[in-house]
């Protein structure tokens, strides 16, 4: 027998032994190699992370609270936007959402049952300041969040608080035009100051703004979030300029962050001892081909996505790549503003959901009207606002990873976690990081398959693979200090309504009961460093906490 035959047989025997011992190895191998994108799978345990590492779950106010006009709260921009015909899938709204406003104690018990270290949630701006600066602070809103914070701390859970997660009083949208006006900056600072005064004695982690880069893309480029502004080729809205408005809105959000950060550091941080940061949407990009132009396009995409948020807050100005291509459309910081904004964060928050291929549109045509059959063509790739980059999930007819419920952007690509953390580590001199969101949405075709949705092996595989990737980055020196699962329970997922499901818990649309999925028990056992295997029971069960599974 030839030596090569012996080696091949030994490898086959070893592989059979491996998959017999761990069914996840086989499942992961089949999924990835069938798409031509094999990734090494490794198991992961809580002990692979530092002892002080924070594990948690994330939510946001509009997506779960409901109670849109109760106890003094005013209408938010989202409350109004969702009631416009055609804006949200299936006509869904957040009027009730998961009714967290009335069920917060039940939800805190669920969070506690998971054994997490921290809970990331956001404060509803119109619940605290219904009329903005010109009105009074809403005492009922303050009481609501005080109860949440106090009950979390009572159970040993750190509150990780986002001040602005997309929702603002509709009055401010009408008064100023939202984030398009520099006047909104002082409104935000007043809101942040109100939060620091009322909650800062117990909150150690503050996030000023969630994903400003993604927010302005969706709200002012694509027009699918309020106020619904856009222009061709990105969309056909009744108002807006997709080439310039995202840059203006982002500029105001970054300055609002910097002013709030300065206020916190000068007036509150010395006594309260907390940290303040911002969260960016951090897609990873890989070149579509080995061509140097596509490699440059991938780097440019990272600059126009990740560095657009973080560069000003670390270095004091926008990335040079943006200055080069956006020219006069990109606002300038004054010398005073550069000093204000530079080093205005204690940590970086990374929301990571996607890895995509990047195609150069400077040296190659990306005009979709001319390439209607080109799967790498995305509207707007030939525009400066996109960095002259077109992104796609497909290469040579093969997807970059297994599809999820967000087929427009999000595929299972675990290596992207390690790569994006490495990128941020290297670009920002290893500034402290938190993975503030990472999650798996079930493919939409499973919507009516209760068994697959409740016994969600795919979600478990997803988190194990991404956590293993994150652990590698940490072993290689990345200063990552926490990981938050998106999300605690199925919620209102913006333009997708309730069709897209990220939750460790499902929510019955009629009773609003929270029903733990297999992933809830897996996460609980992972945090306790115990093993867990997915086994489907013969009957469907409904419980209140992971401990009861």
Cβ(377)–Cβ(371) under 8 Å?
yes
Cβ(301)–Cβ(360) under 8 Å?
no
Catalytic residue flag (residue 296) = no
Give CA–CA dist 43/25, Å, rounded: 9
DSSP structural state of residue 265: I
Cβ(121)–Cβ(148) under 8 Å?
yes
Residue among 32, 39, 187, 211 flagged as catalytic: 211
| Burial grade of 426 (CB within 10 A; 0-12, 13-18, 19 or more) | exposed
Handedness of CA 169, 318, 344, 299 (dihedral sign): positive
Please tell me the chain's helix, strand, coil percentages from 3-state DSSP, rounded to the nearest 5.
45, 15, 40
Cβ(97)–Cβ(198) under 8 Å?
no
Give CA–CA dist 320/291, Å, rounded: 22
Catalytic residue flag (residue 437) = yes
- Which run of H or E residues covers position 421? helix 415-427
DSSP structural state of residue 307: I
Residue among 39, 65, 221, 437 flagged as catalytic: 437
- Which run of H or E residues covers position 64? helix 61-64
Q: Which residues lie closer than 8 Å to 118 by C-beta, 6 or more apart?
A: 54, 55, 56, 157, 158, 159, 160, 205, 482, 484
| Burial grade of 446 (CB within 10 A; 0-12, 13-18, 19 or more) | middle
Give CA–CA dist 296/292, Å, rounded: 6
> What are the DSSP E strand ranges found in 361-513?
389-392, 394-395, 398-399, 402-403, 411-412, 433-438, 480-486, 505-507
3-state secondary structure of 417: helix
Q: Active-site residue numbers?
A: 211, 437
């Amino acid at each position: 027998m030839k030596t090569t035959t012996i080696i091949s047989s030994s490898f086959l025997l070893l592989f059979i032994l491996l998959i017999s011992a761990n069914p996840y190895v086989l499942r992961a191998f089949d999924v990835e190699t069938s798409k031509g994108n094999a990734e090494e799978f490794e198991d992961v345990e809580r002990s692979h992370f530092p002892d002080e590492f924070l594990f948690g779950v994330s939510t946001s106010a509009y997506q779960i609270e409901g109670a849109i006009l109760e106890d003094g709260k005013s209408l938010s921009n989202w409350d109004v936007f969702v009631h416009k015909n055609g804006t949200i899938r299936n006509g869904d709204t957040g009027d009730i959402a998961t009714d967290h406003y009335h069920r917060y104690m039940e939800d805190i018990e669920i969070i506690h049952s998971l054994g997490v270290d921290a809970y990331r949630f956001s404060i509803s701006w119109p619940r605290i300041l219904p009329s903005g600066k010109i009105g009074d602070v809403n005492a009922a809103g303050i009481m609501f969040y005080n109860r949440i914070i106090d009950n979390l701390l009572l159970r040993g859970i750190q509150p990780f608080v986002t001040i602005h997660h997309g929702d603002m009083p509709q009055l401010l949208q009408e008064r100023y035009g939202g984030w398009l006006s520099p006047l909104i900056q002082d409104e935000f600072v007043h809101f942040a100051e109100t939060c620091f005064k009322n909650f800062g004695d117990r909150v150690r982690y503050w996030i000023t703004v969630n994903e400003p880069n993604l927010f302005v893309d969706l709200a002012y480029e694509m027009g699918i979030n309020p106020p619904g502004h856009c222009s061709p080729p990105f969309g056909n809205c009744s108002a807006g300029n997709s080439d310039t408005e995202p840059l203006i809105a982002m500029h105001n959000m970054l300055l609002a962050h910097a002013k709030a950060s300065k206020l916190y550091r000068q007036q509150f941080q010395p006594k309260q001892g907390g940290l303040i940061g911002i969260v960016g949407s951090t897609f990873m990009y890989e070149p579509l081909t080995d061509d140097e132009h596509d490699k440059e396009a991938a780097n440019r995409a990272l600059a126009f996505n990740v560095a657009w948020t973080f560069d000003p807050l670390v270095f004091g100005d926008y990335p040079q790549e943006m200055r080069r291509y956006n020219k006069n459309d990109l606002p300038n910081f004054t010398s005073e503003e550069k000093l204000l904004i530079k080093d205005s964060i204690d940590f970086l928050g990374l929301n990571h959901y996607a890895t995509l291929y990047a195609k150069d549109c400077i040296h190659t045509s990306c005009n979709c009207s001319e390439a209607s059959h080109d799967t790498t063509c995305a509207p707007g790739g030939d525009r400066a606002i996109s960095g002259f980059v077109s992104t796609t999930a497909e290469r040579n007819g093969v997807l970059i990873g297994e599809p999820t419920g967000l087929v427009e952007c999000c595929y299972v690509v675990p290596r992207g976690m390690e790569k994006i953390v490495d990128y941020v580590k290297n670009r920002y001199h290893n500034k402290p990081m938190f993975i503030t969101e990472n999650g798996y949405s079930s493919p939409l075709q499973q919507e009516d398959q209760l068994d697959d949705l409740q016994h969600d092996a795919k979600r478990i595989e997803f988190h194990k693979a991404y956590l293993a990737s994150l652990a590698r980055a940490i072993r290689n020196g990345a200063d990552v200090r926490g990981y938050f699962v998106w999300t605690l329970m199925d919620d209102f997922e913006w333009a997708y309504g309730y069709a897209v499901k990220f939750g460790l818990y499902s929510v019955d649309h009629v009773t609003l009961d929270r029903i733990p999925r297999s992933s809830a028990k897996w996460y609980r056992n992972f945090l306790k460093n115990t093993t867990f295997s997915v086994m489907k029971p013969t009957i469907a069960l409904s419980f209140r906490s992971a401990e009861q599974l």
